[in-house]
Structure 1
Amino acid sequence: MHSTPLCQAPASEIRSPRSVFPRGAVDCHAHVCGPAAQYPYAQERIYTPPDASLEDYRSLLRMLGVVRAVLVQPSVYGTDNRALIDALKTDSTHLRGVAVLPIDSKMVKDKELEQLHAVGVRGLRCNLVDVADPSGSLPIEALTSLALRIAPLGWHLELLMHVNAYPQLASIFANFPVDLVFGHFGYCHAKHGIHNAGFQGLLSLMKDQRAWVKMTGPYRISAQSAAATKTGAIADLYADMRPFNDAVLAANPKQLVWGSDWPHVMVKNTMPHDADLCDLFGDWVSDAHLRETILVDNPAMLYDFS
């Protein structure tokens, strides 16, 4: 039996957000996990999620009032994209995907890329957290080779990485061959602040239209827990992440997308409720036109929604 720890399940309370998302809104970051009996998890995983099926996720979307979504391959499946592919096949109109393939482009076959594109995949995800070499450098040659393979398809490369660890981020990716998408506000913990050189590099890439940012997972990089909100006011939730939100908005709102990050795997403190995360976005992005840009227009372009 695998000994990796079992994650918390997402909040089960049925509660819709007060913020009403515009028609055509897209949840740009969610995962389908399981059923494990049908889609077994990789042996080398570092956590075990509770089953979070496509049916469960659709129930969440109905609760949030959202129809379109982007499913991102979770790390527990490694490069086995079967659960993702089968989910995408159920709804080619409203679902898109981001898959995971070996970072060594020589191991990626053209036919596999074509098959993934046909079911709705529009990008590849590379998890670079804790994989940099001791010098602090990135596997830029491997990433560039992989990017050149997917460029003809119009795909992007999504990076899960701590941008704060790379003060030369802007110059490293200045001439990258495909669009880059950075998850979780660049995964820069609130303690580093918005003046961190790596985060400033991310803002520079956004201004030059070289990078997109997912406004996802503030609870992953906040020093605060959802339980620490004393007043119960949405504005107080993960308040130390508000400067990061404001900074990416100021850099280039046309390079932003939002996502729920459901089912919130590996949350070690209080599990956030998705309705609260929607309301937090509504509070942080108060302008209706900006909300429509981030929730509807930008994802339609990035993920090829018609």
Structure 2
Amino acid sequence: MDPDYLPFHPNPSKPSYVPPPGAVDAHCHVFGPGDAFPYAPERKYTPCDAPKERLFALRDFLGFERNVIVQASCHGRDNRALVDALQSAGDKARGVAVVGPDIQLDELRAMHEAGVRAVRFNFVKRLVDATPKEVFLDIAEKIASLGWHIVVYFEAQDLEELTPFLKQLPTPIVVDHMGRPDIAKGVQHPDFQRFVRLLEENANIWTKVSCPERLSLSGPPGYDDVVPFSRHLVERFPDRALWGTDWPHPNMKSHMPDDGGLVDVIPRIAPDAASQQRLLVDNPLRLYWS
């Protein structure tokens, strides 16, 4: 692990909030272990090992029944750790892979059989090298035939430039972490409202209301400054919002979140049983298990 990054919380608290039956942690990762699933040579960071066994134990401890496991850039296009975790989890997990332009349909079908239902396009410049948009469009056409969708990761300052590209994609789109808004600017700032308009104008675009620990200026335990952003999206787009822990929280330097504390933020962003049911059960099941 890189020396300036923190390992995941060794003893998260038991959350006070109890998720509804069937709840899904719709954004988490597995890393390594490195001796079995080596990290990509081109990676921009080296995380701590975070194997499937620890993820599944956390899932049960927090009161969730399923995971959506997302391939992270440290493993590059080598999805073996992801596929291994999916095969071990059976119907309790689905996956989001990272693939290259040379991916073949038979390879995609094998990943589909393991539980992969999406690919991820990463536009965060500090994490990955730039890829031509034409490459992503070619991949999008391939995976559309399987009924998959596309997960996109970008930062708020890049949204305006990316919007024409996003509108070209032929599948549903899920935006990681609310498009990483600048929390200091507030919900009504034009930058965040640009993201809101994107969802208003494109019914195929979903969002994850995740990662307050990455966005907050006020910090734990409640991440109070991020809550209004998440709640706004849950209220405006109740059928297109997902939630996830982002365990094991790669690249965190200032603090490592308590995953139990993150779960306890859920009723503040989805304050009633109906909205919690949609956020944690109905929406992820419709997108990943239907």
Q: Distance in 1 between matches of 2:166 and 2:156?
A: 12
Q: Residue in 2 aligned with 1:260?
A: 245
Q: Residue in 1 aligned with 2:177?
A: 184
Q: Residue in 2 aligned with 1:154?
A: 147
Q: Residue in 2 aligned with 1:231?
A: none
User: SS where residue 171 of structure 2 aligns?
Assistant: coil
The one-character-per-residue Cα deviations of 1:154-187 (angstroms, maximum 9, x if unpaired) are 1111111013323365554335311111111111
Cα distance, 1:272 vs. partner?
0.8
Indicate if the aligned counterparts of 1:169 and 1:202 stay in contact, CA closer than 8 A.
no
Q: Distance in 2 between matches of 1:169 and 1:251?
A: 22
The one-character-per-residue Cα deviations of 1:16-63 (angstroms, maximum 9, x if unpaired) are 100010000000111111111111111222222111111111111121
- Which letter maps to 1:185? M
Which residues of 2 match residues 30-179 of structure 1 at below 5 A? Answer: 30-102=28-100, 105=101, 107-130=102-125, 139-167=132-160, 170-179=163-172
Unmatched runs of 5 consecutive residues or more in structure 2:
none
User: SS where residue 158 of structure 1 aligns?
Assistant: strand
Q: Distance in 1 between matches of 2:132 and 2:187?
A: 25
TM-score, normalising length: structure 1: 0.87
Which residues of 2 match residues 152-301 of structure 1 at below 5 A? Answer: 152-167=145-160, 170-207=163-200, 208-226=202-220, 237-301=222-286
User: SS where residue 153 of structure 1 aligns?
Assistant: coil
Q: Distance in 2 between matches of 1:6 and 1:47?
A: 10
TM-score, normalising length: structure 2: 0.91
Cα distance, 1:81 vs. partner?
0.4
Cα distance, 1:199 vs. partner?
3.2
Cα distance, 1:196 vs. partner?
4.6
Cα distance, 1:245 vs. partner?
1.1
Cα distance, 1:209 vs. partner?
1.5
Unmatched runs of 5 consecutive residues or more in structure 1:
227-233
User: SS where residue 249 of structure 1 aligns?
Assistant: helix
